[in-house]
Amino acid sequence: MGAVYTGVLLITVAALVAAATNRCSHRRTHIGGLGALALVVLDAAMIGAAGALAPTFVWPMAVAVVASLTRIGFAIQSLPALSG
């Protein structure tokens, strides 16, 4: 499971870096949206895993959960609007 998470994380970082370094390519802008969506999924997975595997809820975990939820909120705001 850790190798899968690491692989997806590296792909997500690569997508976000590709989108951040090129402002002219419309395709890379969409790759950034996919990277942001993957970041939301990864953060949600880590919150769920930490909640399921941790024996008790301690203050460092509370800080990490708040940071992840904040990052999820910013990532969702950066996603392009879905056109119906």
Q: What is the pLDDT along the chain (84 residues), one digit of tens a residue?
A: 678 888 888 988 888 888 778 767 677 667 778 888 888 888 898 888 888 888 788 888 889 889 999 988 888 887 766 544
Q: What local confidence, expressed as pLDDT, does residue 69 receive?
A: 92
Q: What local confidence, expressed as pLDDT, does residue 67 receive?
A: 92
Q: Long-range contacts: 78-83, Cβ < 8 Å, 24+?
A: 78/32, 78/33, 78/36, 79/33, 79/36, 79/37, 80/30, 80/33
